[in-house]
C-alpha cells in the first residue's frame, strides 16, 4: 500500500505513521517531498492493515496495491480457464456456448417444447428456474420443489444440460441432484452463505454480476466459491443500474474484455435481463460475441405473452431460431464456433 | 394500468388488445385520440397481467397504477407505525432512537467497554455483529457462533437492547435467542429466504436499503417480512452507489421524507456506512434528524485504528460523546427527544 | 397525458381536475375505478400543460404520452436518414464510416503524419481538435485559432474530411470555414446556444451524448439543431458515468439499437473516450459494429506517451492499422462495407 | 504521483519507467517489493505527465497525489472565504443566506408580487431567470432581453439583490449590468467559455454542480472562474442523477461537509431542482442547514399551477412563509442567524 500524508503534515505525525507500519511488522519506505510525503509499504499481508492506518492523524488516504482477489486473478492462469460443463461441453475455450430457455419453468409441456426448439437451434444448455427471486412477495415464486421431477424427466428426454438458479443455501444439495450448472442471480451475488455452499459442490457456478456491483466485487464474490475448492466458476455480465430508463438495465459491454484481462475465468453475457425488452436482444447478443464473450444466456419462451415471469423480454421460438442464424456470421468473424 | 398504443396503431391491433383485456377478466376503457389511443384498465388484480399485455403488437408501453407494495404502504396506517423494540423503547413515535456500537464484536472486553460509553452517552440500542458479510472471503468474518454467549453476558450486564446482523436463513433461530433486533444488511436486502425467515419471528427487523435499490424495491423487500405476519419492520437508508468517490456511498437524504410519505414504517439512517469516513458523520447525523429520521445507526469503536472491520468509519469514544451532545439542539429543533 | 389520481381522492377533488382540463381546452376522459380514478387527456398540445396539472390537489402523478421530441423521432423518416458528409462520403446508409485521429492537434508534422496513416488504413474522416474543453484550466487547451491554417493545409494535402470540436457559439462561424463536420462534446450536449448556432449552418453536426444524459435528453439536444433547419445531425454514444472504476466511462451499447428505433438519425460510437484506456478499444469497436453503429470515432496518435491530451487512451499507428484489419470480418458479418 | 508496476514486471521494464521519470525532470523513488514494485515521484508539476507515463509497458496504474485544483483548495484559505454579495450581505460567514423566487420571470406583476413576499419573509436575494435552458427547444425559453428593464425596476422597488442564470458568454456583459449574482446552471458547469467570461467580471458567481459531476469536477469548474481573478465563487449542490425515480435528482447531502473540507468557498444547496416536487423541499432545507450549508436557493411562485417553467417544484407564498418559520429553530441549532 502507499500511504499519502496530508499536505504539510508535521514531522512527528509522519513519524507516528512510520512507527505504526514498523509495529505492524512491515518495512516503511518514506519518501519526503516538498509539499507531500508518502510512505510506501510493500508486502503480501498489508491489505488487512489498511483500515488500521487509514484513521491515523495526518493520513490523507491510502492506496492499496495488491488486488483484493487472488484465486480469480488472471495471473493464476494466464492462458485462461476452460470450465467443463458436462456432456462434452466446455466454456472458456474456443467454442461459444449458448444457454437458452424460459425464465421460470411453468409446466412439463411448456418446458419440453421450449427445450426442443432451443436444442435443435443449437443451444447446448437449457435454462429454467424453479425458484424465482421476485422483487415482490405477491408475484409468482416458481414451481419450487415440485419442479425437480420435471427437470429430471426433461434432461433424459432431451439429452441436454440444465442450468437453474439456486436461491437458498438450504436448496443447494437438493438442486445439485438434478441440475448441471448452478446460477447465482444478481440479487444474490453477495449472498456469501449461498456462494460458500456452492463452493462445496463440484458443479459449475454461473455468478451474475450484481446490478450495482463493480468488477472487483464480482471477482471477490467468485473468490468465495473458489476458496472452497470449486474452480468451475463462470462470470456473467447482465446489466447494471443507471439513470437510463429505456431499458431495464444498462449492459456493460466493457466488462467483457476487462474481466478477461482481470481474471482467468470464462465470461458470459445475459442480454435479456439487461434489456428487459426483446427487440434489442439480438443486437446485444452480436455485440457480446464481438466483444469476446465465451457464452450467452438468452431468454426464450413459446408464448411470451402468456409467461408467468419476465415474458416481456423473452424471444418467441421463431425469433430465437432467427437469432441463432443471425449470430452465425459474428461467431465466424470472432473465429469461434457457436 | 394504462396501455399506451403505438402512434398510428391500426384499428384491429387496438381491438386485439381490448379483447385480450376482456379475456383476462377486466373492463377495458379505450380512449381514442388523433395521434394516440390509450386503453385504461382499472382493478385490483391488474398488476400481474401487465407482462402478458406488454408484448402484444401495437403496445408502446404500459403504465402501472397501483403500487406494487400493499402492506408497507402509507395508506395501511396513515398515522404511522410505532414499533416496540423491547425494554420500553419504541421507534417511529415521538422519540429519536440512537443505535450505536462497533461493526463487529471482537472480544468481551471491547464490547463491554463500548457498550458502557454508548449507553451512558444516551444510546438505547447497542449494535455489534458476530457474522460479517465481507466482500472478500479473505477478510475477517466475525466471531460467528462463539459470539453468542458474549452477547448474552453483555445484555445482562448493561441492561441494553442488542441489534445484530443476520446473514443466513439457518442462523435466524439461533440469533433470535439472544438479539432484540435483527439487521438485514444492504447486500441481503433481496435475500428473500432470509427476509421470509425473519418474518416468521416476532423480532423487530431493520432492513437496510440495498446500495443500488430504489425505494420501491426497499418497500417490496419489507413486504416479504410483513406478509409473514411480522409487522415490526424498520427501514434504513444507508447510502447508494453513485459515481462520486469522495465517500464510500452517497447518502440519499431525500429518501427519509419520501419513505415517510410512501410508507407507515419507521425510517432510520446509517451515516457511517454511507460515508466510509468518520469526519462527515456528525454532519450527516444532524441532517438525518432534520430530514425527519426516526433513528440513527452509528458506528463507534474504542480504538478505530485497531478495529478488525470498518475501523476507518467509526467514531472513537470522545467523538461519540461529543456527537451526542451536538445532536441535542437539532433533536430539540425537530421537537423530538433524543 | 394520463392523470392518475390519489387512491380514494374525493369526488370534488377529481371534478376540479376534470374542470381544469376542460378549461385548458382539452376533452377529459375520466375512468372511475374502485380504488383509483384516472383522467386521460389526448391531444397534440397537452405536454406543455403537464406541469400546470401536476400540482393540483389529488393528483398522484401524470404520465406523458407523446414523445417530447418531434423532428428527431423515427416516425419522421421511418427508413432512416443518410447524412451527406461531403467528398462523396455519407453516414447512415450502407457503409460504415471510420473517423480517427488525435484528440488535439499539436503541430503540423504530427497532424499530417497521423492523417497519412489514418487515411491509408481506410478512415474517411480525420479528427483533431484545436479547442479542447479540459476539466481543469491548468491543462493544455488546444492550439485554438492558431490551428486553423494548419487544418486548411492538411485538408488540401490529404484530401480528407475533417471533424473538429466547437466549444463556443462565437467560434462556429470561424470553424465552419475550415472543418467539414462539427463535433459537440459531451460537456456541451446541453449548451443550447452552441447547438442553435450549429443549427444555423449547413454543416453536419456530431452530438456526443452527455456523460449523464438519457437518450431522451440526447434526442432533445438534437432537436435544437434540427429546429433551426439543419438536418445533418449524427448522434454519438461515448459512455456514461456509473460507479464502475475500471474504465473512465461505461459504454452504453444498448443505446445503439435503441436510438435507431427511437430516431431516424445516424448513430456513432466513440469507444476511446468511453474506455479511457487503449487495450479494450478494439473489443468495443467490434461490439459497436455488431450492435448496428453507423460509424466509429477512434483516437489514434503517433506517440501516445508524448501526447498533450488524452494520450492514455489513444492507439498508436500499428495498433490502429491492426484494428482496421480486425474490424473487417465484423463489418462483413454486419453486411456493411467499412 | 505513485506509479504502480505490474505484478512480476521485468527489471528492464521497471528501469525504463525510472529512466522516463528522470528524463521528464523528476527524481524517481523506486521501492522494490516481493510481488510488486512501485515508483514514487514527488513534485509540483508531476500531474501533467501522468498521461505520458500511464501507457508505458509494465505500468499497472498511476495514483496522482496532488489535488488537480489549486485556487479552490481549502489550503488556500483554511479559515474559509466570506463572499460579499452587495448591499451588506455576505455568504460563507456566520449568517445563512436565503435566495428565493420563481424559476423564470414571467411578468412584472408576478415578479414584484413574489419579490415582496420573499423579502418580507426574510430572504436577502431574489432569484428569477430571463434565459431558461430548457431541455427541449419547444419549451418556453424565458423573456430573454425583454426581461432586463423589468429586473432593473424590481431591484429599485424592492431594494433586494438579484440572482439570475447566464447561459451564453455573449450574454455576460449585458446581464452584468443589472444582476448582482450570476448563476451557472447545472448543464453549463463545464461550459468553460462561459465560466471564463464570468471570471472576467467582479460579480459573485454561483456554480451549480453538474448533475453528473464529481466534487472534483465542480472544484475544477470553480478554478476556471478563479484563475481569471474573480474570487467570488459560491458552490451549489443541486442533486445528482441516480437510478432512483421518486425524485428528479438525488440531493447529495454529503457534498456539503465534504466541499467545506476540500475548499474554502461557500457552499449552497438548491433543494427545489433536486427534488422536482415541493412536498419534500422543507425537509431538504432543514437537512442542508443541519449539514452546514451557507445558503439555500429555493423556488417559490405565486401560482405554481400556472407557472410556465418548473411550477411542479415551487412552493406557493404561504408554503414559503411557513418554510421560513420552520427553518428558524434549525438555523438556531446550527448557531447561524437566518
Q: Give D301 or D141, the one with higher predicted confidence.
A: D301
Pairwise pLDDT comparison (A257 vs A18), residue with the higher score: A257
Cα C60 to Cα A285, B66, C8, C56, D246, distances in angstroms: 39, 11, 11, 9, 12
Chain C positions touching chain A (beta carbons under 8 Å): 212, 214-216, 240, 242-247, 250-258, 261-262, 274-275, 279-280, 283-284, 286-292, 329-330, 332-334
B36-93 pLDDT, tens digit per residue, is: 777 877 665 655 667 677 778 888 877 766 666 778 988 888 899 999 999 999 999 9
- The count of domains in chain A is 2
Residues B51 and B88 reside in one and the same domain:
no
User: pLDDT grade, residue D25 (50/70/90)?
Assistant: confident
Q: How much is the mean pLDDT over chain C? A: 89
Per-residue pLDDT for D44 more than 60? Answer: no
Say yes or no for a CB contact (<8 Å) between C190 and D68: no
All three cell numbers of A186, joined, read 444478481
When scoring B104, B138, B226 by the number of chain A Cβ atoms within 10 A, the one with the most, hence best to mutate, is: B138
- Grid cell 435454462 in the structure block, residue: A127
In this prediction, residues A232-249 reach a mean pLDDT of 96
Q: Which domain holds residue C279?
A: 83-333
- D330: which chain B residues are within 8 Å (Cβ-Cβ)? 290, 330, 333
Phi, psi (5° rounding) for residue C164?
A: -150, 150
Intra-chain end-to-end CA distance of chain A, in Å = 44
The residue of chain A nearest to residue B137, with distances taken between CA atoms, is A224
For residue D104, give the nearest of D240, D268, D306, D270 by alpha carbon. Answer: D306
To test the contact with chain B by mutation, choose from C42, C61, C186 the residue with the greatest count of B C-beta atoms within 10 A, namely C42
CA quadruple C41, C45, C46, C50: dihedral, nearest 10:
-170
pLDDT digits (tens, 9 = 90+) for C243-275: 999 999 999 999 999 999 999 999 999 999 999
Q: Are residues A13 and A146 in the same domain?
A: no
Whether residues B33 and B143 share a domain: the answer is no
Contact B151, B178 (CB under 8 A): yes
Would you tell me how many other CB atoms lie within 10 Å of the CB of residue A246?
A: 19
Q: For residue D34, is pLDDT > 70?
A: no
- The Cα–Cα gap between C211 and D126 comes to 32
Q: Which residues of A touch C275 (CB under 8 A)?
A: 254
pLDDT of D8 reads: 76
| Helical (H) or strand (E) element with D31 | strand D28-32
C51, C133, C196 member nearest D310 (Cβ): C51
Q: Mean pLDDT of all residues in chain A? A: 89
Q: Can you give the pLDDT at residue C34?
A: 60
**Looking at A184-198, B191-205, C56-70, D142-156, which range is the least confident one?**
C56-70
Q: In the 8-state DSSP scheme, what is residue D315?
A: B
On the question of pLDDT at C46 being above 90, the answer is: no
User: Are C279 and A256 a contacting pair at CB < 8 A?
Assistant: no
In a domain, A307, yes or no: yes
Q: Which of D33, D38, D66 sits opposite A35 (nearest CB)?
A: D66
Mutation choice for A interface testing from C284, C290, C332 by most A CBs within 10 A:
C290
Which residues in chain C are contacts of D252 at CB distance < 8 A?
none
How distant is the Cα of C33 from the closest Cα of chain B, in angstroms?
A: 5
Quickly state the pLDDT bin for A41 (edges 50, 70, 90): confident
Q: Are residues D16 and D159 in the same domain?
A: no
B47 vs C235: which has the higher pLDDT? C235
Looking at the structure, tell me whether residues D46 and D149 fall in a common domain.
no
Among B35, B66, B242, the residue with its CB nearest the CB of C36 is: B66
Among the partner residues D133, D136, D307, nearest to C68 by beta-carbon distance: D136
Of the two residues D292 and D149, the one the predictor is more confident about is D292
* Residue D254 placed within a domain: yes
Residues A58 and A115 in one domain: no
Q: What is the mean pLDDT of residues B207-230?
A: 95
Q: Residue C105 pLDDT > 60, yes or no? A: yes
Q: How far is the C-alpha of C101 from the C-alpha of C115, rounded, in Å?
A: 7
DSSP assigned state of D129: B
Contact D205, D229 (CB under 8 A): no
User: Which of these ranges, B276-285, C197-206, C293-302, D22-31, has the smallest mean pLDDT?
Assistant: D22-31
- Which residues in chain B have their CB less than 8 angstroms from residue D283's CB? 254, 256-257, 290-292
Report pLDDT for D42. Answer: 65
The confidence score (pLDDT) of residue A20 equals: 86
Geometric angle at alpha carbon B234, from B229 and B237, rounded to 5°:
140
Q: Count the alpha carbons within 13 Å of B189 in the hemisphere toward its beta carbon.
A: 28
Residue of B18, D124, D141 lying closest to C193 (CA atoms) = D141
Locate the chain B residue with the closest alpha carbon to A241.
B212
D152 and D277 inside one domain: yes
Q: Which residue from A137, A167, A223 is facing B227, i.e. has the nearest CB?
A: A137
CA distance A220 to A223: 5
The residue behind cell 424453479 is A130
- The model's pTM: 0.87
Residue C74 lies in a domain: no
CATH number at residue B145: 3.20.20.70
Q: Among B241, B309, B310, whose Cβ lies nearest the Cβ of A212?
A: B241
pLDDT for position A166: 94
CA distance A283 to chain D (A): 24
Does the pLDDT at position D238 exceed 80?
A: yes
Share of chain C above pLDDT 90, in %: 60
Q: Does residue C306 lie in a domain region? A: yes
| Residue C30 and residue C145 share a domain | no
From CA A205, how far away is CA C247, in angstroms rounded? 27
Pairwise pLDDT comparison (B47 vs C182), residue with the higher score: C182
Residue D231 lies in a domain: yes
How far apart CA D265 and CA D263 sit, in angstroms, is 6
Q: How confident is the model at residue C67 (pLDDT cuts 50, 70, 90)?
A: low
Share of chain B above pLDDT 90, in %: 60
Any idea what the CATH number is for the domain that residue D50 is in? 3.30.70.1140
Residues of chain D contacting B, Cβ within 8 Å? 212, 214-216, 240, 242-247, 250-258, 261-262, 274-275, 279-280, 283-284, 286-292, 329-330, 332-334
Residue C331's alpha-carbon distances to B72, C88, C296, C326, in angstroms, are 53, 20, 12, 9
The interface predicted TM-score of the complex, written ipTM, equals 0.87
Q: Rounded to whole angstroms, how far apart are CA atoms A127 and A299?
A: 8
Name, of A15-19, A69-73, B194-198, the range with top average pLDDT.
B194-198
pLDDT confidence tier of residue A39, bands split at 50, 70 and 90:
confident
> Which cell numbers hold the place of C25?
381546452
Place A42 in a pLDDT band, splitting at 50, 70 and 90: low
Q: Which residue has the higher pLDDT, B58 or A35?
A: B58
Q: CB distance A135–B190 less than 8 Å? A: yes
Is C43 close to B34, i.e. CB distance below 8 A?
Answer: yes
Are residues A28 and A124 located together in one domain of the fold? no
Residues pairing with D207 in the sheet: D184, D235
Which residue reads 489514418 in cell numbers?
C118
Measure the CA angle with vertex A307, ends B194 and A190; round to 5°. 25
Comparing CB atoms, the residue among B254, B284, B290 nearest residue D254 is B284
**Does C88 share its domain with C201?**
yes
Helices (H), C141-266: 147-158, 172-176, 192-199, 215-226, 255-262
Higher pLDDT, B46 or D200: D200
Q: Which helix (DSSP H) or strand (DSSP E) does residue B52 occupy?
A: helix B50-54
d(CA C80, CA C261): 10
What pLDDT score was predicted for residue C43? Answer: 60
* Residue D39, helix vs strand vs coil: strand
Per the listing, cell 446489466 goes with: A239
The answer to whether position A71 is within a domain reads: no
Using CB atoms, list chains with 3+ pairs below 8 Å to chain C.
Answer: A, B, D
Report the distance separating Cα B19 and Cα B27, nearest Å.
10
Judge whether A298 lies within some domain.
yes
The residues, any chain, with a CB within 8 Å of residue A149's CB and separated by 6 or more, are: none
Instruction: Residue C156: name the closest of C172, C132, C180, C175 by CA.
Output: C180
CB contact under 8 A, A42 and D32: yes
Instruction: Kindly give the interhelix angle for D255-262 and D215-226, rounded to the nearest 10 degrees.
Output: 50
pLDDT in the model for residue C164 = 95
Q: Is pLDDT larger for residue B159 or for residue D322?
A: D322
CA distance A177 to A79: 32
Measure in Å the smallest separation between the Cα of B223 and chain A Cα atoms: 7
- D-contacting chains (≥3 CB pairs under 8 Å): A, B, C
Q: At CB < 8 Å, which residues of chain B contact C?
A: 2, 4, 7-8, 29, 31-38, 40, 42-44, 63, 65-66, 75, 241-243, 245
What is the C-alpha radius of gyration for chain D, rounded to an integer number of angstroms?
A: 23
What one-character-per-residue DSSP string does B245-272 give?
Answer: -SSSSB-BTTHHHHHHHHBSS-EEE-HH
Across the interface, of A42, A63, A241, the residue whose CB is closest to D33 is A42
pLDDT band at D129 (very low <50, low <70, confident <90, very high): confident
Partners of residue D35 in chain A, C-beta under 8 Å:
42, 44, 66
The answer to whether the Cβ–Cβ distance between D31 and A42 falls below 8 Å is yes
- Kindly list the distances between the CA atom of residue C293 and the CA atoms of B168, C101, C257, C277, D295, in Å, as whole numbers in the listed order: 46, 19, 8, 21, 47
Contact C2 B38 (CB under 8 A): yes
Chain D contacts of B262, Cβ < 8 Å? 246
Supply the pLDDT for residue A43: 59
| pLDDT for residue A332 is more than 60 | yes
On whether residue A55 sits in a domain, the answer given is yes
CA angle A115, A121, A125 (to 5 degrees): 50
pLDDT score at C81: 94
- Distance between CA atoms of residues A243 and A85, nearest Å: 36
Same domain? C11 vs C155:
no
**C-beta atoms of C42 and B29 within 8 A:** no
Task: Specify whether B104 is located in the same domain as B32.
Answer: no
Percentage of residues in chain D having pLDDT higher than 70? 94
Contact at CB, B52 and A307, closer than 8 angstroms: yes
The C-alpha of A4 sits at a distance from chain D's nearest C-alpha, in angstroms, of: 7
Amino acid at each position: 500500500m502507499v500511504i499519502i500524508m496530508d499536505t504539510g503534515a508535521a514531522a512527528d505525525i509522519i513519524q507516528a505513521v512510520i512507527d505504526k507500519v514498523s509495529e505492524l511488522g512491515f518495512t516503511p519506505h518514506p519518501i519526503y517531498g516538498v509539499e507531500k510525503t508518502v510512505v510506501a509499504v510493500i508486502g503480501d499481508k498489508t491489505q488487512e492493515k489498511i483500515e488500521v492506518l487509514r484513521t491515523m492523524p495526518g493520513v490523507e488516504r491510502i492506496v492499496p496495491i495488491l488486488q483484493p482477489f487472488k484465486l480469480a486473478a488472471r495471473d493464476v492462469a494466464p492462458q485462461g480457464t476452460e470450465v467443463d460443463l458436462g456432456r462434452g461441453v466446455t466454456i472458456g475455450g474456443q467454442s461459444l456456448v449458448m444457454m437458452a430457455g424460459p425464465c421460470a419453468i411453468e409446466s412439463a409441456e411448456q418446458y419440453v417444447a421450449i427445450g426442443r426448439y432451443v436444442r435443435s437451434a443449437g443451444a447446448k444448455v437449457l435454462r429454467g428456474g424453479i425458484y424465482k427471486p421476485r422483487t415482490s412477495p405477491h408475484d409468482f415464486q416458481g414451481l419450487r420443489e415440485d419442479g425437480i421431477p420435471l427437470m429430471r424427466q426433461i434432461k433424459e428426454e432431451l439429452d441436454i444440460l440444465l442450468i437453474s438458479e439456486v436461491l437458498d443455501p438450504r436448496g443447494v444439495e437438493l438442486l445439485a441432484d438434478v441440475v448441471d450448472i448452478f446460477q447465482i442471480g444478481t440479487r444474490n451475488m453477495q449472498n456469501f452463505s449461498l456462494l460458500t455452499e456452492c463452493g462445496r459442490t463440484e458443479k459449475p457456478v454461473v455468478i451474475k454480476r450484481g446490478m450495482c456491483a463493480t468488477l472487483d466485487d464480482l471477482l471477490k464474490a467468485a473468490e468465495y466459491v473458489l476458496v472452497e475448492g470449486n474452480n468451475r466458476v463462470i462470470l456473467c455480465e447482465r446489466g447494471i443500474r443507471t439513470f437510463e430508463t429505456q431499458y431495464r438495465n444498462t449492459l456493460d459491454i466493457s466488462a467483457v474484455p476487462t474481466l478477461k484481462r482481470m481474471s482467468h475465468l470464462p465470461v458470459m453475457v445475459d442480454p435479456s435481463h439487461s434489456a428487459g425488452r426483446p427487440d434489442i436482444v439480438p443486437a446485444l447478443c452480436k455485440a457480446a460475441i464481438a466483444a469476446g464473450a465465451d457464452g450467452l444466456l438468452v431468454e426464450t419462451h413459446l408464448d411470451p405473452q402468456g409467461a408467468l415471469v419476465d415474458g416481456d423480454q423473452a424471444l418467441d421460438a421463431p425469433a430465437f431460431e432467427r437469432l441463432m442464424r443471425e449470430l452465425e456470421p459474428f461467431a465466424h468473424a470472432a473465429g469461434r464456433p457457436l
